[in-house]
């Protein structure tokens, strides 16, 4: 066996083992429903909403008023009994940053936003959230 094969083989085996734990979308490896199924789509919807409504994002006519979108953190929040009674099955806070075009300065400026996502009856609902510590995703 060549030296290259000796180095590549363990990496390929590790990748296959890691992928083997992946199930169908929305399912956990144990076969149960993933409580976070659909969250990524909900975050993409928030991203699209920011691009459509943020003043800095609308500042350039070429449609490139915002760039560099990045999810800084996601953190699970505790669900209160009253929320459980209303059908909340998951609760996550998300912080996102991006650069928006400042027409006055003719440069991009860093912006950020915070949202709380609640999964109610299988659908994610978004609401604004206060700032969070980006290292822990806990309220600042």
Q: Is the full-model pTM beyond 0.75?
A: no
Tokens 């609760």, residue located? 91
pLDDT at residue 50 in the model: 94
Which residue positions in the chain have pLDDT lower than 50? 1-25
As a whole number, the mean pLDDT across the chain is: 80
Q: Is the dihedral of CA 77, 95, 140, 130 positive or negative?
A: negative
Spatial separation of the C-alpha atoms in residues 89 and 5, rounded to whole Å: 47
């Amino acid at each position: 066996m060549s030296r290259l094969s000796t180095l590549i083989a363990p990496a390929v085996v590790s990748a296959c083992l890691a992928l083997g734990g992946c199930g169908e979308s929305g399912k956990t490896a144990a076969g149960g429903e993933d409580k976070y199924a659909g969250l990524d789509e909900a975050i993409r919807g928030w991203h699209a909403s920011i691009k459509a409504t943020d003043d800095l994002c609308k500042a350039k006519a070429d449609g490139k008023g915002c760039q560099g979108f990045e999810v800084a953190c996601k953190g699970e929040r505790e669900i209160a009994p009253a929320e459980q009674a209303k059908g909340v099955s998951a609760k996550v806070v998300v912080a996102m940053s991006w650069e928006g075009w400042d027409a006055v300065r003719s440069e991009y400026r860093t912006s950020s936003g915070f949202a709380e996502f609640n999964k109610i009856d299988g659908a994610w609902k978004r609401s604004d959230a206060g700032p969070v510590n980006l290292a822990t995703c806990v309220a600042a």
